[in-house]
Every structure is written in structure tokens, then in C-alpha cells.
Amino acid sequence: MNSIFFYLIFNIYAQVGPIGIIQMPTLFGEFKPIVGEYVEYRVHELDSDSVQIIKLSIVGETSCEESTDKKKKPQKCYWVEVFSRLESSGHGLLTKMLVSGDPRDPANIKKMISRIGKRSPLVMKQEDVAKMPKSIGTEIPKNARVKKAKEPMKVTIKTINTIVYDFRVDKLPFTVWMSKDVPVFGMAKLKSPDLEIDLTEFGKGAKSEMPDVKDAKEQKTDEARPANIKIDKDSILEEKKDSLDEKNEETE
């Protein structure tokens, strides 16, 4: 499974302890950011039967760097937020990234901030961002075969038209449904032997869930993780107290 997921692997200590792994699904298509647009996907990992809900939102636009050349236009950057949680739980991780281009390539990530629940946001060290692997997801390969030129698909109350492609990446077969109606990457659905991704919602009007990041602290590596935080196998953090309370209720 590792080859078809984009793993953002890092440690954030200080107040929340090591976060571990954030999983962003393999998304195909061209990155087309428009502020306010969002997509939400249901990601089903078939071999482990793990299901995640992942929401990607474009929540802001700014200039990346100030140029001394007045004739040169400043580089445009976007704030992208990714919220990931298990389908069976409300617990999750919110990550906010300032990107100068496709966020699937860590080289385009200028800043990354993460927050668990209502805890204080923490800034990831840029040296750790640079170590993250590039996603397998890309624009649709030029040699992709059009399996079906037009296939309607219903997403909530909306019906969109999709083009269905078949192709391989690193010998892995993919069937992908693409639509010009879908924001951000244009992907509506994906199927592979051990992974299924379905678009569950999309639209406009997305607002930042982490609007104030000026007070975000930089991650530290010299402080121990608090005892009341645990990391489960899917890297979703949960409070131990909540888990124990749930178990006590079941036994009563």
C-alpha cells in the first residue's frame, strides 16, 4: 500500500507529541486552485478495510516572495488545508500548507502547519518537509486509454459527467474518473486492486479551519510526548481518556 499513498512523515513534539504519518490519497489530475473551492473523498484501503474521509480546501491566496525586480510579478502561492479522519471517528488531523504549485510535490510546500483537535497549531520544520516523498499522483498520463468518453456520476444531489481512463503507474493499474466539474484536481473516482477513492462532496465557499496561524509554534524535538496522547495504526490521534470512557460505558 505504501506505493500508492503520499506519506507526510514527520514528528511534532511540544504540546501534542509526535504526529507520525498523515495520509493524503493518490490524486490524479492537474492542480487547479481556486480560492473557496473544496473536495471531500472517501478513501477505502481494501487490504486492511480501513476507511478515511479526507477533505481538501483552497482557503487563501498570497504572494510567496517579494521581488526586487518591479517588472517581475511576485510568485503566487495558495493556502491548502487537508483534514483527515477515520470514517468511524471524528478525531482527525488538520494540516495547512502554503504551496507555490502542485502540493503533491514537497518542493512546492513553503510552509506546513498542523493541528490536532482544538490544540495549538504547530509549524513543521522546513527541513522535514523537504524529506517527504513525492506523491505517485500526477496529471493523467499521456498514454492513458479512454475507457469511456462520457459516464454520468451522481455526487450527493449533483450529477456530473466524467471521462473514464485506464492506465498504469509503476506497474500499478488504475481506473480513474475525471470531470471538469470537480474542483482542485478534477478527480471524481479511483479504483485500483487495493484502493478505492470516491468523491463524496464538492463545492465552493470553503473557509479556513485554522485562520490564525501567527501564533503557531515551531515543532521541537527535545520534549517528550504527553502520556494522554496515543497514535493508532492509522496515525489518527485520540485522547486516551475518551477511549477509556467509551470502554467503561460498554462494560457497564
- The predicted-structure confidence for 167-200, as pLDDT tens digits, reads as follows 999 899 999 999 999 999 999 999 999 999 999 9
Residue of higher predicted confidence among 181 and 116: 181
Structurally, how many domains does the chain consist of? 1
Q: What is the pLDDT of residues 8-51, one digit of tens each?
A: 333 333 333 344 445 457 899 999 999 999 999 999 989 888 89
What is the pairing mode between strands 217-218 and 122-123? parallel
Query: CA-CA distance, 131 to 81, in Å (whole number)?
Result: 20
Residue 124 has pLDDT above 90, yes or no: no
Please give the model's pTM, rounded to 2 decimal places.
Answer: 0.77
118 φ/ψ sector (left φ>0, alpha ψ -120 to 50, else beta):
alpha
pLDDT at 120: 82
Query: CA-CA distance, 43 to 45, in Å (whole number)?
Result: 6
Residue of higher predicted confidence among 227 and 40: 40
Grade residue 145 by pLDDT with cuts at 50, 70 and 90: very high
Give the angle subtended at the CA of 21 by the CAs of 77 and 176, to the nearest 5°.
70
Residue 161 has pLDDT above 90, yes or no: yes
pLDDT at 126: 86
From the CB of residue 109, how many other CB atoms can be counted at a distance below 10 Å?
A: 23
Q: What is the pLDDT of residues 81-90, one digit of tens each?
A: 999 888 877 6
Residue 158 has pLDDT above 90, yes or no: yes
Grade residue 242 by pLDDT with cuts at 50, 70 and 90: very low
pLDDT at 192: 95
Query: CA-CA distance, 34 to 194, in Å (whole number)?
Result: 31
Amino acid letter for position 113: I
pLDDT at 213: 66
- Domain boundaries, position 210: 2-251
Residue 230 has pLDDT above 60, yes or no: no
Average pLDDT over residues 192-214: 90
Query: What mean pLDDT, rounded, does the chain reach?
Result: 78
Average pLDDT over residues 89-108: 88
